Structure 1
């Protein structure tokens, strides 16, 4: 008997037994895998290093299972922003997505010309059917290792690995790992940062309808903050040597340079082409930093409900491996008839296989299955949606960020877009309130840190008033170092680009007749903001049309 979900609007086939972390779903696409866990594991421990002996025990249990279980174990190395990452798993689903998602070692070297390390910088071990362990996820910063037991949900695995890579890059190189998406228009990059369900992917794909745009990333980016020198070089600092001794490293370099503008210290960093560059501190224009974003994924792991607003994505999704695509009920098809009809009509109107010959019922069921469950995932090769020349296909090609959009969806507020001061920008990121009412620091619940301790500390300054949060943060002497690392880099982002608050609520406008119209108008608002040069820029639901006229 199928498992009913969400008022019987959709169902999943039942598990074959009590311990299977994954099993086949009703066919759709190249393959459809149902995972027992469809979100974060019940146990998710990022404080392994604070518990003596725990990491050793976890790793020993993992490798004992590999040695004794009579099952296939896979191992595959990939490169994520220059770091070599090895995955070891007994999940066919996870290894398939892993290989699709990232650049393999040979691919990376061929595309970028860079040779990665001979041994892994980060290790991830993900094993199912381990009887001695519960469903859980663990992270050790000291060992740069992620360990998952008894879960096959790729979303958490991917995000924790990106977080682990991000911590290493931040501490050692000052590179910022951001849960966000980027698109460029006329060479100017727009970085979207948002909680799930507020329109990050929709905004990225939506702006691509304008001329002069290029698609960069959908979910995660690595940002390098860089300075120009008087002789035209550009340098992203990684280390600073003063008198032969290291005085700052990674994310600590930015504040050091601001405090020692006339120093003759040697700054060692990377150029935008990732070649080593050195300069003296006094040569750098520290008042005008730049933010340059790099994509992390080869093929994007994203929600298949993208087809609601961008039906053309279905052409690649139908060839993709899918994760947790449900079966839909007649009630769902009835409730969502208008959307399903619109998407189906768009697909058949394009007169391209496989939808041009698909019978109506099969097509409509397929469309419904793509968006019935909000966390159904697919792998999307973006070059099948947009021409290659409109896509960043080299992971080491930078996109300079000119505008940052903190997206929210709050129908209780009438403000549509507003340029933010640093106080508002940093407070938004510290609080990180989601549409569900929960809080995610910098809208990223997958950071490789003890976010519970960070949140407890943030609550103490939030209690003094949101308007005072940034000033209180700056005065505090006891802030967690991992939070200091994160916010220091967001401070650099604010210095490097114009920051905006974007509220995706144009459906409140009674003159807007459909969701698609609301999306299109929101995209026009974003493009107008990208071209804005004024510090004061604020439009509400009653005035935004003046911006578009």
Structure 2
């Protein structure tokens, strides 16, 4: 039986990181009153040395939290809490949403705030893979193939996954060691289940994982075509083929998969020495590959062109182009100048090679070959 939970909100809810202190205290009091009057759950997680505490009354969020993070000692001092995000208190407050993706991102964002102050740490929203001792970071908007290319690197005999969503890079450590090291604190990958569309073998793994917002009824599928067809595959609808759920019927359904469950424990790494930064875009006109210096990379990151995918934002915007800097959008304080400084230092001072690849005009394999070729010269 599928271990699936459907949240009331299946995407991120509107958030405000600049709530006045008085209003914040009022909301926090309401939340604490509710949690104290009902069954609630507490858990502490260790995010690269930062202790983030969860306190809530959602069994679903609690289960995902425990599965996703390394557990911190019960008597460890809390650096940040999930009931809110305000200034130096590092707290996050959620009302009436059980969607784990937002909870996870805010936990990472609060840890990032502490790490940036204490260790001059750069927090990147991207995937990280180690290939034969060389770390590759892939930064890309949703829908351009970030996860696909990360998977291709993992399939290389010497490829090992560090993380698919968030990378912490301690620049203070980098200056001391003479090179940058990428790390991430998550034990599990919060995967879009639509990735099973092109990787049938993932169905068994997702079947054995905790899932969120997987469609279990044909009537709720967004991609039906005619009585029995599927717009995505051009084949029969999986519900008509006898399956009780479909992993790609909704663009934002998720599975929380332990990293070692994908390819085995020997394909997992906790850190990687960063040698290559890959930026991905998808369009019909740009060249397949452009080598970037620091200034060029900053321009691409700053422009932030991306296609709005199903499940992200209002439905009427799906498939249209949007513009938002590719810097980490989940930081508590969105300081683009600071992010640019980190990227510039990475490329200029630490000699991390940077490529901009267009996945819209080449096959997955062709893009993968370009990444592997670049690694050989790093």
Is TM-score (shorter-chain normalized) higher than 0.5?
yes
Q: Is the 8 A contact 1:83 1:117 kept in 2?
A: no
**CA positional deviation for 1:377:** 0.4
Correspondent of 1:84 among 31, 35, 51: 51
The equivalent of 1:488 in structure 2 is 341
SS at match of 1:385: helix
Q: State the 1:56 CA deviation.
A: 1.8
Q: Distance in 2 between matches of 1:94 and 1:340?
A: 35
CA distance in 1, matches of 2:341, 2:87: 20
* Alpha-carbon displacement from aligned partner over 1:447-482 (angstroms, at most 9, x marks no partner): 212x5xxxxxxxxxxxxxxxxxxxxxxxxxxxxxx3
CA 1:419 to 1:298, structure 2 compared with 1: closer, same or farther past 3 Å?
Answer: same
Q: Which runs of 4+ in 1 moved over 4 A?
A: 336-341
1:419-458 matched pairs, under 5 angstroms? 419-436=291-308, 437-449=321-333, 451=334
Q: 1:40 aligns with which of 1, 7, 12?
A: 12
Query: Which structure is richer in relative contact order (CA contacts within 8 A, separation 6 or more)?
Result: 2
Q: Matched residues in 2 for 1:337 and 1:486: separation? A: 37
**2:88 alignment partner in structure 1:** 142
Cα drift, residue 420 of structure 1 = 0.6
Question: How many aligned positions are there?
Answer: 358
Residues 16-415 of structure 1: matches in 2 within 5 Å? 29-30=2-3, 32-42=4-14, 44-48=15-19, 51-68=20-37, 71-105=38-72, 118-125=76-83, 139-225=85-171, 235-236=173-174, 289-326=178-215, 327-328=217-218, 331=225, 334-336=229-231, 338=233, 361-363=241-243, 366=245, 369-392=246-269, 395=270, 398-411=271-284, 413-415=285-287
> C-alpha separation between the residues in 2 aligned to 1:120 and 1:390?
32
Q: Distance in 1 between matches of 2:347 and 2:75?
A: 33
Contact 2:124 2:327 survives alignment (8 Å): no
> CA separation in 2, counterparts of 1:141 and 1:531?
44
Return the TM-score normalized by structure 2. Answer: 0.87
1:429–1:443 contact (8 Å) kept in structure 2: yes
In 2, distance between residues paired with 1:200 and 1:141? 32
**Could you say if the C-alpha distance between residues 530 and 155 of structure 1 is closer, same or farther in structure 2, counting changes exceeding 3 Å?**
same
Distance in 2, matches of 1:425 and 1:93, equals 39
CA 414–236 in structure 1, closer or farther in 2 if over 3 Å, else same: closer
Task: Report the 3-state secondary structure (helix = DSSP H, G, I; strand = E; otherwise coil) of the residue aligned with 2:181.
Answer: strand
Whether contact under 8 Å (2:179, 2:274) holds in the other structure is yes
Deviation at 1:522, TM superposition (A): 1.9
Q: TM-score, normalised by structure 1?
A: 0.61
5+ long unaligned stretches in structure 1: 1-27, 107-115, 126-137, 227-234, 238-268, 272-288, 345-358, 452-481, 508-517, 534-549
